Amino acid sequence: MGNNAELNDLIERYKKIDLSAENENKEKILERLLLQFENAEDNSKDRLITKKAIKPIYALVAVLSLLLAFSAVVYGQDAIRFVREMFIGDHAYFSSEIDRGAVDYNIPEEFAGKVFDKEGNQLDEYPHDFEDYIELYNEAGEKIVPYQDKSGDVLLTEEELKQKTQERRKNMTTAFETLEEAEVYFISDEYMMPAYLPKGYEFARAEIYNNDNGVPETNTKYMDIYYSNGIAKIDMSLRFMDEETAFEFGGLGELTELDINGYSAVKIGNSMLSVEIDGIMYTFNRNDDADVSTEDLVSMDEIILMAESLTLRK
Amino acid sequence: METGKSNVNFTEKPTLDRDAVKDIYETYYKKVYNYIGYRINNKSDIEELLSSVFEKVIFKYYTYRHDVSSSEAWIIGIAKNTVIDYYRAIKRHTFVPIDTMYELISDIRQPEEAAVINESNAELIKALDVLKDRERNVVSMKFATDLKNCEIAKIIGISESNVGTIVNRSMKKLRKELERKV
């Protein structure tokens, strides 16, 4: 058999695989979809992203916020309830949850004896009391992160985690030293930048996501701006909002509705703020990097001032 | 009905009713599920993303332009963007860098996967781990859908010849990986 014939044969073998065949929830998903369809009101925001018991990103973020490997935490389908939900603009839906009762706080066997709190106390289970994420330490007092790779569950120090991911991260975006270089890739000319920056902070770089060829995507609907004071960073992401970029966010942080110059905004926990102005969602995040202590982060009040100072770039 | 074309008229702004929703779902369920399944290994996440894709399809069907793409290409394009959004949301809203999460999601065999694939296909699925994300994206569309290379190229934003090159290279990698395991 020729080389190409062999490859075509392999393609056909893959085509014959039907991952969906063993999914038992096909009908349930359809029923839920039909229910959402029937409950949707014409021209309502609810038509875009309908409410349901649990969200894909929601569940995932909730799990990841705990900094636990997937296998370490189990959420029951009915365990999560929204404490608050809101739309910002026409394409973004935010929700927060309150019931953490179904979370499994047990530390996996393979981590037994290896997980400590900040004070050096060995932990038998993950702490229930945390704000944005759980801080875990090894015996040497280094911050650690549960991680799952092909060899199984492992604990990595933050430095190890950083190194492990650095190379891959490099390829995801292209960084530009000036905004002028980056903005040519952004889909809109009419976007805003903050006129106010917290003391000591300045523009550090702009990043554009790469396309599948590894080069910056043209007409991209996403652009990330980073500010730095040399220690901590502030990330402001711009997201051109339409049906394609519509998103739903869910997490453990408390949602607080704010008014930014007459536009609806939401503060999420103590790290993020999103506001949509004229079709672009501006999301500020003061907690993007893991290696900066809370004390060094800019306050949320400063983030709000930044948002309030957004003015048209051109 | 699980394959072929939907009875829903995609050439004009249709008024969807319950039957039309069912028809769209039944027509494209398998392709969307398999495409996401080739990209993401966790079964519960596949189902949730699948659900999210069909919500967007149904509630935004009126934005579909038949003169721009086939209905299948439009829906798979939405699926592609939903998967991208999945990763981006992780990056934006979590402490752990997206690359780490990507590895968690994409490269690791989740326990649930045992229920997703049967034993005879397990090696084929596992071999996909050797592919880079772009390669996996392209062959996922190739395996899961009837899209032509030119349609895949349009969805991903690369040239048609590049799709062919990527498919060819990916299949060689997969064959090598499968032979290595024999």
Which residue does chain B place closest to A148, by CA atoms? Answer: B104
> pLDDT by residue (tens digit) across B29-67?
999 999 998 888 767 778 888 998 998 888 777 666 666
CA A138 to chain centre: 26
Residues 216-245 of A with CB under 8 A from B: 217, 222, 237, 243-245
With CB atoms and an 8 Å threshold, state whether A15 touches B89: no
**Mean pLDDT, to the nearest integer, of B76-88?**
80
SS3 A151: coil
Q: For chain B, say whether A44 makes contact (Cβ under 8 Å).
A: no
What does the DSSP 8-state code read for residue A186? B
pTM of the model: 0.46
Q: For residues B82 and B53, is the Cβ–Cβ distance under 8 A? A: yes
With CB atoms and an 8 Å threshold, state whether B56 touches A168: no
With CB atoms and an 8 Å threshold, state whether A47 touches B162: no
Q: State how far the alpha carbon of B154 is from the alpha carbons of A184, B76, B80, B99, B131, in Å.
A: 22, 11, 12, 26, 21
More confident residue, B117 or A178: A178
CA A255 to chain centre: 15
With CB atoms and an 8 Å threshold, state whether A70 touches B104: yes
Q: For chain B, say whether A165 makes contact (Cβ under 8 Å).
A: yes
CA-CA distance, A97 to A155, in Å (whole number)? 28
Nearest-CA distance A280 → chain B (Å): 16
Nearest-CA distance A133 → chain B (Å): 8
- State the pLDDT at residue A101: 40
With CB atoms and an 8 Å threshold, state whether A165 touches B100: yes
With CB atoms and an 8 Å threshold, state whether A70 touches B110: yes
Q: For chain A, say whether B64 makes contact (Cβ under 8 Å).
A: no
**Per-residue tokens: B51:** 């659900």
Burial grade of B64 (CB within 10 A; 0-12, 13-18, 19 or more): middle
Residue count (chain B): 182
Residues 75-104 of B with CB under 8 A from A: 78, 81, 85-86, 88-90, 92-104
Residue numbers in B near A162 (CB within 8 A):
97
With CB atoms and an 8 Å threshold, state whether B21 touches A217: no
Residue numbers in B near A297 (CB within 8 A):
none
CA A85 to chain centre: 17
pLDDT string in tens for chain A (314-residue length): 467 788 888 888 898 888 888 778 889 889 888 887 777 644 333 333 322 222 223 323 333 333 322 222 223 333 344 456 677 877 777 766 544 344 456 777 778 888 888 889 898 877 766 544 567 889 999 888 776 555 556 788 877 777 766 655 566 789 999 999 999 999 999 999 999 999 999 999 999 988 877 789 999 999 999 999 988 889 899 999 887 777 766 655 677 889 999 898 988 877 789 999 999 999 998 864 545 666 677 889 999 999 999 999 86
Instruction: Tell which residue, B78, B87, B58, B51, has the closest CA to residue B141.
Output: B78
Residue numbers in A near B34 (CB within 8 A):
17-20
Q: For chain B, say whether A187 makes contact (Cβ under 8 Å).
A: no
Q: For residues B114 and A179, is the Cβ–Cβ distance under 8 A? A: no
Which residue's entry shows tokens 């290595």? Answer: B180
**Per-residue tokens: B143:** 């395996």
Nearest-CA distance B180 → chain A (Å): 15
Best residue of A3, A15, A17 to probe chain B, by most B CBs closer than 10 Å: A17
What does the DSSP 8-state code read for residue B148? -
CA-CA distance, A300 to A260, in Å (whole number)? 13
Q: Measured between CB atoms, which of B46, B81, B172 is closest to A7?
A: B172
CA A168, B126, B104, A26 torsion: positive or negative?
positive
Nearest-CA distance A27 → chain B (Å): 10
